Amino acid sequence: MAVYRYVNLDIREAQLLSDLTGIEHDLKATVTLCDQLEAALKDTFEGHQPDIITLETLTTAVLVRYARSFTSGVRARLPKQILQGLPPKLLDDHRWFKALRDKYVAHSVNAFEENMVVAYLAPEELGTREVQSISVQQHRLASLGLDDVDCLRVLCQELCTRVSELIEQERARVLEVARKLPVDQLYAQEGRAPTVVTRKTVEQSRKRL
């Protein structure tokens, strides 16, 4: 029986295909997280005790995972043409979720989080006017709502469709490039194992071709 093996295409022409595949993975993961957040919200609305930590955690995860496709790093961002031609509603949703991640989740900038220091005053009728105690009242967005979750899921599914089409185009293009490489060199090449990650490598950028 014939055994097929693979060799790594560590060539610049394959970089976009690699990046798009990572982006597609993040968008699909966002859809899955939307499903989990929706289930947690519905569980709360059915009268169960709200699990605020779970709702907050899933909201954070879904926004961070979505925004990874549009932030800078070693991996390329989504090509601009992916957003071009989106219906105005989806484009507005994209800006909302991106801003929510940038100005609330990733960085505490806007009023979606407020920690207000308050002074509790002694009741005047007790005959003493003084500050009794100090406290901090916390107000923050704990979770997206069901409508927002549905909007994000629809947005991700549309972007996934567009990214998948680009991936197929890139796959065909990279295949043509690979078939023009010296075949003897490819067969002589040993497969490269995935990079072993450790605490020491967490701050090291991977190489871009």
What residues make up the domain containing 21? 12-113+145-191
The confidence score (pLDDT) of residue 81 equals 84
Is residue 40 assigned to a domain?
Answer: yes
Is residue 133 assigned to a domain?
Answer: no
Is residue 129 assigned to a domain?
Answer: no
**How far are the Cα atoms of 30, 42, 146 from residue 34, in angstroms, in the given order?**
6, 12, 9
Q: Phi/psi zone of residue 47: left (φ > 0), alpha (ψ -120 to 50 degrees), beta?
A: left
Is residue 140 assigned to a domain?
Answer: no
Q: What tens digit of pLDDT does each residue of 77-90 get?
A: 888 888 888 999 99
Number of domains in the chain: 1
Those residues of the chain that have pLDDT short of 70 are none
Provide the sign of the torsion angle of the four alpha carbons 141, 144, 145, 151, taken in this order. Answer: positive
Report the chain's mean pLDDT, rounded to a whole number.
Answer: 90
Task: Give the DSSP letter of residue 126.
Answer: G
Is residue 150 assigned to a domain?
Answer: yes
| Cβ proximity of 69 and 25 under 8 Å | no
Q: What tens digit of pLDDT does each residue of 136-150 get?
A: 999 988 899 999 999
pTM of the model: 0.86
Is residue 208 assigned to a domain?
Answer: no
The continuous run of DSSP H or E covering 120 comes out as strand 113-121
Q: Which of 22, 10, 21 is closest to 177 using CA atoms? A: 10
Is residue 134 assigned to a domain?
Answer: no
Is residue 77 assigned to a domain?
Answer: yes
**How far are the Cα atoms of 44, 63, 153 from residue 41, in angstroms, in the given order?**
5, 16, 15
